[in-house]
Amino acid sequence: MKGLEFIMKLRPVTYHLNMTSLSKRLGESNGAEWDKQMKGALADKEKMLFTGFVAQEVEKAAAETGFTFSGVDKPRSDSGLYALRYAEFVVPLVKAMQEQQAMIKDLQTQVQTLQAQADVVIVLNGSGSGGDKIIAYPDPVDCQYQYAEYRGGNAFHL
Protein backbone atom coordinates (compact mmCIF):
# COMPACT_ATOMS: atom_id res chain seq x y z
CA MET A 1 0.00 0.00 0.00
CA LYS A 2 1.19 3.47 -0.84
CA GLY A 3 0.62 5.59 2.24
CA LEU A 4 2.82 8.65 2.32
CA GLU A 5 3.14 8.98 -1.44
CA PHE A 6 -0.66 8.99 -1.83
CA ILE A 7 -1.31 11.34 1.10
CA MET A 8 1.32 13.84 -0.08
CA LYS A 9 -0.50 14.18 -3.42
CA LEU A 10 -3.75 15.28 -1.73
CA ARG A 11 -4.67 18.96 -1.73
CA PRO A 12 -6.91 20.06 1.14
CA VAL A 13 -9.39 22.73 0.10
CA THR A 14 -12.02 24.98 1.68
CA TYR A 15 -15.21 25.68 -0.21
CA HIS A 16 -18.84 26.79 -0.09
CA LEU A 17 -21.52 24.53 -1.52
CA ASN A 18 -24.06 26.04 -3.88
CA MET A 19 -26.89 24.11 -2.25
CA THR A 20 -29.62 25.76 -4.33
CA SER A 21 -28.01 24.67 -7.57
CA LEU A 22 -27.18 21.24 -6.18
CA SER A 23 -30.74 20.75 -4.97
CA LYS A 24 -32.14 21.69 -8.38
CA ARG A 25 -29.68 19.35 -10.11
CA LEU A 26 -30.82 16.51 -7.88
CA GLY A 27 -34.48 17.36 -8.52
CA GLU A 28 -35.19 18.07 -4.86
CA SER A 29 -36.98 21.42 -5.16
CA ASN A 30 -40.51 20.06 -5.54
CA GLY A 31 -43.65 21.54 -4.01
CA ALA A 32 -44.55 24.82 -2.34
CA GLU A 33 -44.20 23.44 1.20
CA TRP A 34 -40.66 22.20 0.46
CA ASP A 35 -39.75 25.65 -0.86
CA LYS A 36 -40.92 27.40 2.30
CA GLN A 37 -39.11 25.06 4.67
CA MET A 38 -35.96 24.46 2.70
CA LYS A 39 -35.01 27.85 1.26
CA GLY A 40 -33.87 29.10 4.66
CA ALA A 41 -32.00 25.88 5.39
CA LEU A 42 -30.28 25.97 2.00
CA ALA A 43 -29.27 29.61 2.48
CA ASP A 44 -27.78 28.77 5.89
CA LYS A 45 -25.90 25.79 4.47
CA GLU A 46 -24.50 27.94 1.64
CA LYS A 47 -22.93 30.26 4.23
CA MET A 48 -20.98 27.38 5.80
CA LEU A 49 -17.31 26.97 4.92
CA PHE A 50 -16.47 23.33 4.29
CA THR A 51 -13.09 21.61 4.22
CA GLY A 52 -12.19 18.53 2.27
CA PHE A 53 -10.71 17.29 -0.96
CA VAL A 54 -11.74 17.43 -4.61
CA ALA A 55 -12.87 13.90 -5.47
CA GLN A 56 -11.40 13.98 -8.98
CA GLU A 57 -8.01 15.00 -7.54
CA VAL A 58 -8.14 12.17 -5.00
CA GLU A 59 -8.98 9.76 -7.82
CA LYS A 60 -6.00 11.07 -9.82
CA ALA A 61 -3.62 10.84 -6.83
CA ALA A 62 -4.63 7.23 -6.27
CA ALA A 63 -4.12 6.39 -9.95
CA GLU A 64 -0.72 8.12 -10.07
CA THR A 65 0.53 6.13 -7.08
CA GLY A 66 -0.94 2.82 -8.19
CA PHE A 67 -3.17 2.72 -5.10
CA THR A 68 -6.62 1.17 -5.43
CA PHE A 69 -8.48 3.57 -3.16
CA SER A 70 -12.03 2.73 -2.14
CA GLY A 71 -12.87 6.20 -0.85
CA VAL A 72 -13.97 7.73 -4.16
CA ASP A 73 -17.48 7.11 -5.42
CA LYS A 74 -17.67 7.88 -9.13
CA PRO A 75 -20.86 9.17 -10.75
CA ARG A 76 -23.13 6.38 -11.96
CA SER A 77 -24.67 8.50 -14.70
CA ASP A 78 -23.84 11.54 -16.80
CA SER A 79 -25.74 13.75 -14.37
CA GLY A 80 -24.36 12.01 -11.28
CA LEU A 81 -21.91 13.45 -8.79
CA TYR A 82 -18.59 12.35 -7.34
CA ALA A 83 -18.49 11.65 -3.61
CA LEU A 84 -15.79 10.92 -1.06
CA ARG A 85 -15.98 8.54 1.88
CA TYR A 86 -13.68 10.23 4.38
CA ALA A 87 -13.53 7.23 6.73
CA GLU A 88 -11.59 5.42 3.99
CA PHE A 89 -8.72 7.90 4.40
CA VAL A 90 -7.84 6.44 7.84
CA VAL A 91 -5.90 3.42 6.54
CA PRO A 92 -3.60 5.30 4.12
CA LEU A 93 -3.08 7.96 6.81
CA VAL A 94 -1.99 5.29 9.31
CA LYS A 95 0.33 3.80 6.70
CA ALA A 96 1.78 7.26 5.99
CA MET A 97 2.44 7.81 9.70
CA GLN A 98 4.18 4.45 9.94
CA GLU A 99 6.36 5.33 6.95
CA GLN A 100 7.20 8.72 8.49
CA GLN A 101 8.08 7.13 11.85
CA ALA A 102 10.51 4.77 10.08
CA MET A 103 12.08 7.80 8.34
CA ILE A 104 12.32 9.68 11.64
CA LYS A 105 13.99 6.71 13.33
CA ASP A 106 16.55 6.47 10.50
CA LEU A 107 17.24 10.21 10.70
CA GLN A 108 17.65 10.05 14.48
CA THR A 109 20.21 7.28 14.06
CA GLN A 110 22.07 9.35 11.47
CA VAL A 111 22.03 12.40 13.76
CA GLN A 112 23.36 10.38 16.69
CA THR A 113 26.17 9.00 14.52
CA LEU A 114 27.09 12.47 13.27
CA GLN A 115 26.94 13.95 16.77
CA ALA A 116 29.25 11.25 18.08
CA GLN A 117 31.73 12.17 15.34
CA ALA A 118 31.45 15.92 15.86
CA ASP A 119 33.69 16.66 18.80
CA VAL A 120 34.43 20.26 19.51
CA VAL A 121 37.91 21.13 20.76
CA ILE A 122 38.27 24.17 22.94
CA VAL A 123 41.80 25.16 23.70
CA LEU A 124 42.13 26.55 27.18
CA ASN A 125 44.44 29.42 27.96
CA GLY A 126 44.01 30.62 24.35
CA SER A 127 47.47 29.56 23.20
CA GLY A 128 46.57 26.65 20.99
CA SER A 129 49.78 24.85 21.89
CA GLY A 130 50.44 22.79 24.95
CA GLY A 131 47.36 24.05 26.82
CA ASP A 132 44.73 21.89 28.41
CA LYS A 133 41.97 20.84 26.02
CA ILE A 134 38.32 20.06 26.57
CA ILE A 135 36.43 17.92 24.09
CA ALA A 136 32.66 18.30 24.19
CA TYR A 137 30.42 15.55 22.87
CA PRO A 138 26.78 16.53 22.29
CA ASP A 139 24.34 14.11 23.90
CA PRO A 140 21.56 13.48 21.30
CA VAL A 141 19.01 12.56 23.96
CA ASP A 142 18.93 15.69 26.11
CA CYS A 143 20.99 18.10 23.95
CA GLN A 144 23.48 18.63 26.78
CA TYR A 145 27.22 18.39 26.32
CA GLN A 146 29.33 15.77 28.04
CA TYR A 147 32.90 16.91 28.65
CA ALA A 148 36.22 15.16 28.90
CA GLU A 149 39.27 17.17 29.97
CA TYR A 150 42.68 16.26 28.64
CA ARG A 151 45.84 17.11 30.55
CA GLY A 152 49.03 15.85 29.13
CA GLY A 153 47.31 13.11 27.16
CA ASN A 154 45.24 11.77 30.09
CA ALA A 155 41.45 12.06 29.93
CA PHE A 156 39.35 13.02 32.96
CA HIS A 157 35.54 13.20 32.86
CA LEU A 158 34.15 16.41 34.30
Domain that holds residue 148: 118-157
Residues facing residue 120 across a β-bridge: 136
Within this chain, do residues 73 and 46 fall inside the same structural domain, yes or no? yes
Q: How confident is the model at residue 158 (pLDDT cuts 50, 70, 90)?
A: very low
Within this chain, do residues 93 and 151 fall inside the same structural domain, yes or no? no
Within this chain, do residues 68 and 122 fall inside the same structural domain, yes or no? no
Residues facing residue 134 across a β-bridge: 122, 149
Q: How confident is the model at residue 120 (pLDDT cuts 50, 70, 90)?
A: very low
Between the CA of residue 127 and those of 49, 58, 136, what are the distances in Å? 67, 65, 19
Range 127-135 contact pairs with CB under 8 angstroms and sequence separation of 24 or more:
134/158
Q: How confident is the model at residue 152 (pLDDT cuts 50, 70, 90)?
A: low
Q: For the whole prediction, is pTM greater than 0.85?
A: no
Number of H helices, E strands in the chain: 5, 8
Within this chain, do residues 51 and 90 fall inside the same structural domain, yes or no? yes
| Residue 151 counted as domain residue | yes
Which secondary structure element, helix H or strand E, spans residue 58, and what is its range?
helix 55-65
Q: How confident is the model at residue 89 (pLDDT cuts 50, 70, 90)?
A: very high
Within this chain, do residues 97 and 138 fall inside the same structural domain, yes or no? no
- The helix, strand and coil proportions of the chain, stated in percent and rounded to the nearest 5, come to 45, 20, 35
| Residue 130 counted as domain residue | yes
